[in-house]
Structure 1
Amino acid sequence: TARYCPPAIDLIYILFMNLDKATRKADELEYLRFYYDYLESDCIANGFAQTAVPLSFSDLLASYWEFQFFGLLYRAIASTILNVPRAFVTNFYVHVERTDAVLKLMKECPDFGKYMEKQICDILQFLSEESYERTSRF
């Protein structure tokens, strides 16, 4: 994805798909710094002067904050495929509109239902915080 998207997208994909919110938030800056240090050393190893690396750490941070909603949304959508029993995917997801199937599964499998509710709450919380931040800037 880095060829077509900012590097933050790769970070977001990895962090949001593999870590729960509490774990991600606890060490978020450490993960970002680790990624940036390797990105910077790779750029230097490929001929960039240290002062000419095309992305600063602050640029990476800004991009990461900008694209967080993508991570939340992607995780929630992917969860409707990755976190359900394999038989359910085979029987109900092949070339069909699956909203009703997912809602039914949320009722029938309480763990999955709670997990999806958490994903939706994370999205709504992010949107409300983002909305507040945007309106309070003016």
Structure 2
Amino acid sequence: MQLSMKCSVAVHCLLFIWEAGPTTRVTSTLLAQSTGCNPVVIRNVLSALKKAGLITVARGRGGAALCRDPQQITLWQIYRALDPRGVPELIGIHPCDDRPCPVARNIRRVLRRPYREIGQAVARTMEGITLASLIEDLEHPDPDT
């Protein structure tokens, strides 16, 4: 029951892009060094973020930059860029529909509504978290966390 780790890698990349600002050409190699991920993984993450309209990537020499103000980028948008299905698979249901047990035959129907509500709550929470708030946490850490 874990959100994709690609989401945290994407947030790492976006924070790095913000921090590096216009002074550094942020490439997949540089991001790979910072995240500890393979450059191919980073390129895939950057491609998804670009497709979602969250970043631009310069042709040729490379270099990523934010397309929007960090206040306009939500954690939900970042997550959806990497997993367009959203969170329906956040909590899975084991396959057992074909068993003779009445619980097994109905478990999917019984769990559909509460799992949908959980997914909606996660989406609402992620919509309320902006890249700007994450930048604030990065630049001004709470000593109690």
TM-score bin (small chain): 0.3 to 0.5
TM-score normalised by structure 1 residue count: 0.32
More strand, by proportion: 2
TM-score by length of 2: 0.31
Structure holding more helix per residue: 1
